[in-house]
Structure 1
C-alpha cells in the first residue's frame, strides 16, 4: 500500500489583493485613472496555492476576519485544493488586504499592506496547532508572523524529528522579525534588499555568510529579473539567470516571488534538492516566476512544477 504523503503546512499571511494599474506615469497629489483587479494573496497563501495546483497536499494555518472577504478567501482556497480546516475566523477584525499600485509596465510603484490580523498569530496560537506542524513533510512560514511566533517555530525545528522549516521574507521592514538564532531553518528565501536590511551590508556574499553563521542551512537570494543566488554544498554561492521575459510581455509582478518560493519548497518536499542539489529546483522556480509576471493572476492556474509521480514519505 502506497503511504500517504505528508502535507506542506504554510503559516502566515492570507489576504485580499487589490491591484490598481495606472494608465500613465503616477502624478503625486492628483487623481490617477487606473484599471482595477481583485484577487487573493498573502505570501503563505500564495505559496500554498502554487503547491496545491501542482498536486501537493497543503494545509494553510492563518486567520481571517468573520467578514465577506474572509469567507470568499477561504472558499477560493478550498477550490484550489488547500486544506483550510485549521484556519481561524476572528470576530470584530477585518481580513487582511494588500493594495498594489502598478506602473503602466506592470512593475510595482507602491504597495500598502494591512496585515494587522497576523499579530493574532501568537506563540499560543502556534502551540494549539503544533500537531499539524509535527505531522507535516515541510513547514513554510512567512515573516508576517510575529517575532515571538517565528522564534517558537525555529526552536521547534531544532528537534531532530521535526520537519524541515522554510522561512520566506515579505518586506525589508519585517526583516527585524527574524530571530537572532536561526539553527533549525533549512532554507531562508529573501530578496537583495531584504538581505541588506537585515545584514547591514550591500555585499551579498557577506550577508549570506552572516545568515549561515546565525544557523540557516541554505539561503536563496532573489535578484529580480536577473535571477537568483543560492548557497552550495561546497560553501559558496551559485548564480542562476532568470528566463528572459520581454518587457512588453510583463503584465503584473505581484506573486512572482511567492511562486519562486513555492518552487523551492516543491524541490525540498519531493526530495529533488536532496538528490540533485539546489540548481534544478531553482531553475524550475525561476521558470514559474517568469510565467507569473506574464499573468494577470497572482498565482498561475496551471501546474508549473510538474505533477508528483510518486509520494515522498
Structure 2
C-alpha cells in the first residue's frame, strides 16, 4: 500500500537574489552579493514539507534546459516525486529575479513564469485521481485562473492555498469556495474581502467576509506583527519570535508548509499558527529560500520555548 502523501501543484523556478552591502541606491549599481537558488512557491513548499518528513507528489511544468535539470536533480535528492509533472521542450524554465534592500527585505522583483500556462484544467483532470487520493492538495496561484477554478470545483481533499502575490490574488477572489486553509497578507486580504483594513476591527470583519465565501481557516500574515488566525469560532494574533532578519524570501512558503505539517499532526488552529511562525523564524535566519536545517524537532522546540 502506498504511503500517505500530499500533492503540491504550482511553481518551480530559479531564484536570483541580490542584496546590497550598504543602503540600496536606486538607478545605480550597488556593491553586494547575488545568490542563485532553487525557488518557486510550490517547489519551496514541497521542499519544506519533504524536510519535515512529509511524502510529496509535485505537479509543475519545467522547460528542457539546465535550470530544469537542477530542479529535477534536487527533487530526486529530496524524494519529491515529479512523475506527474510536465517537461516542455523549447520553453524556458521559470525564473524569479529579486532585489533586496540592505536589511534583506525584498524591494522589487521580476518573474518570468509564462510556462505555467501549460498546467491546464485538462491536464489537472488527467491527474485528479492522484490529487484526490492524497491527504491534502496544496496550490499556489502561479497556475492559470481556469485551472485554479477547476481545482476548487473538483478537488475532494482539503485545499491549502498560497496567494503568492497581490496581482495573483486577483485570480482567485471570486473562486475561494472550496479552500480549507488560506494564507494571505493584509493587502491580499483586502482584495479578497473588497475592503480596506486599517484596524483590528477591520481585520476581523474582512476575515469574516472571506470565511463567508467558503474558506474554512485563515492565517493572515501581519509582517513584524506576526499572524492573525481565525476559523470563525476561534481567532487570535500571535507575535513572531524576535530575530535579526537575514532574508525574507521563502518565509511565507515555510509558514504554509509548517501549517500543513501541523494539520497532518492533528494540531489545532493556534498551535498550527505557532508552527508556521516557528518555520518562518528558521527561514529568515537562513540565506537560502528554504532553510536546509528546518526539521520537525526544531519547530517543536521553538513552539515549546517561545509561547506559553
Pair in the same fold by TM > 0.5: yes
Larger relative contact order, structure 1 or 2 (CA cutoff 8 Å, min sep 6): 1
Which one of 229, 250, 253 corresponds to residue 255 of structure 1?
A: 250
> How many residue pairs were aligned?
293
RMSD, aligned α-carbons: 1.6
**2:186 equivalent to 1:192:** yes
Deviation at 1:24, TM superposition (A): 2.1
Deviation at 1:305, TM superposition (A): 2.8
Q: In the aligned structure 2, how far is the partner of 1:304 from the partner of 1:222?
A: 22
Q: In the aligned structure 2, how far is the partner of 1:304 from the partner of 1:191?
A: 25
Who is 1:222 aligned against? 221
Q: Deviations over 1:233-277 (max 9, x none)?
A: 62x5311111111xxx321111001000101111122322xxxx2
Who is 1:287 aligned against? 278
Q: In the aligned structure 1, how far is the partner of 2:56 from the partner of 2:294?
A: 15
Deviation at 1:179, TM superposition (A): 5.1
Who is 1:207 aligned against? 206
Q: Deviations over 1:100-138 (max 9, x none)?
A: 111111111111111111122110121121121011111
Deviation at 1:25, TM superposition (A): 2.1
Unaligned runs of 5+ in 2: 299-308
The answer as to whether partners of 1:66 and 1:94 remain within 8 angstroms in 2 is yes
Which secondary structure does the structure 2 equivalent of 1:119 belong to? helix
Q: 1:179 to 1:133 in 2, by over 3 A?
A: farther
Q: In the aligned structure 2, how far is the partner of 1:84 from the partner of 1:181?
A: 27
The answer as to whether partners of 1:169 and 1:175 remain within 8 angstroms in 2 is yes
The answer as to whether partners of 2:216 and 2:231 remain within 8 angstroms in 1 is no
Deviation at 1:44, TM superposition (A): 0.8
The answer as to whether partners of 1:13 and 1:118 remain within 8 angstroms in 2 is yes
Q: In the aligned structure 1, how far is the partner of 2:153 from the partner of 2:231?
A: 24
The answer as to whether partners of 2:13 and 2:40 remain within 8 angstroms in 1 is yes
More off after superposition, 65-74 vs 171-180: 171-180
Which one of 165, 178, 183 corresponds to residue 177 of structure 2?
A: 183
**2:142 equivalent to 1:164:** no
Q: In the aligned structure 1, how far is the partner of 2:217 from the partner of 2:228?
A: 11
Unaligned runs of 5+ in 1: 308-313
TM-score by length of 2: 0.91
Q: 1:212 to 1:232 in 2, by over 3 A?
A: closer
The 5-angstrom pairing of residues 46-85 of structure 1 reads 46-85=44-83
The ranges of structure 1 where at least 4 consecutive aligned residues each deviate by more than 4 angstroms after the TM superposition are none
The answer as to whether partners of 1:143 and 1:177 remain within 8 angstroms in 2 is yes
More off after superposition, 62-71 vs 222-231: 222-231
The answer as to whether partners of 1:181 and 1:215 remain within 8 angstroms in 2 is no
Which secondary structure does the structure 2 equivalent of 1:220 belong to? strand
Which secondary structure does the structure 2 equivalent of 1:74 belong to? helix
Q: In the aligned structure 1, how far is the partner of 2:129 from the partner of 2:229?
A: 31
Q: In the aligned structure 2, how far is the partner of 1:179 from the partner of 1:169?
A: 10
Who is 1:310 aligned against? none
